[in-house]
A = this chain, B = another copy of it.
Amino acid sequence: MAGNDIEKLIKLVSKLPSLGTRSARRIVLHLLKKKESVMLPLIEALNEVSANIRTCEICGNFDTSSPCSVCSSAQRDDTILCVVQDVADLWAMERVSLFKGKYHVLGGVLSALEGVVPEDLNIEPLAKRISSGGIKELILALPATIDGQITSHYLSSRFKDSGVKITTLAQGIPMGAELDYMDEGTLQLALNSRKVL
């Protein structure tokens, strides 16, 4: 149907997350139709990011500098460290712009099923950050899954003698949710952790 180059591009685009062949075709056609206004700026932005992107040597965030803008910010609290699974979670926390401490990206969670052991994660650099002193609180903001919870427990037992206060995000009913639509686990959790008004 279309040229080989176009087919190849469609195939590459279709393998990106949340896309399939049909949406990839639509996207590529859109790029072809708007070469000057969409395709060329996109290529330029991709080139810039690909040339400038660094993984922060301290926290694991992606940025155009290393240390990243969060780690090198003087406005942020060096004594609180928020431990997240992934850069996506770091960005999600930053979108709320409530947290003013710093981060540590684990790069995954422990998983018996997928064979992820502590050595596969970014835990040694975390231990070094903690032992080098200055950190007072470790917020474990890991996913509310079994693996996430196991990882939280592993980290909390590993660092329990470090003198650092270890906390996790509160769990319960999310804002705007109808009880009717909540799963039993969440309801049980919310009931067990109920608070006095």
**Which A residues lie at the B interface, using CB under 8 A?**
1-6, 8-9, 12-13, 15-19, 23, 25-33, 35, 38-43, 45-50, 52-53, 61-65, 68-70, 86-88, 90-91, 94-95
CB-based contact A46/B9 at 8 Å: yes
Q: A39: nearest residue on chain B (CB-CB)?
A: B50
CB-based contact A45/B91 at 8 Å: no
Roughly how many angstroms separate A94 CA and B25 CA in the complex, as a whole number? Answer: 13
Known: A39-B50, A43-B43. 7 other contacts (CB 8 A): A3-B62, A9-B42, A17-B27, A19-B19, A33-B87, A40-B50, A43-B50
Oligomer copy total: 2
Chain A interface main SS type: helix
Contact partner, A17, options B23, B32, B40, B95, Cβ 8 Å: B23
**Given the interface contacts A43-B46, A94-B1, does A53 sit within 8 Å of B35 by beta carbon?**
yes
CB-based contact A52/B5 at 8 Å: yes
> Which chain B residues border A45 with CB–CB below 8 Å?
5, 8-9, 12
> Which chain B residues border A47 with CB–CB below 8 Å?
43
> Which chain B residues border A23 with CB–CB below 8 Å?
17-19
CB-based contact B12/A87 at 8 Å: no
- Tell me the minimal C-beta distance from A25 to chain B in angstroms: 7
Roughly how many angstroms separate A171 CA and B195 CA in the complex, as a whole number? Answer: 63
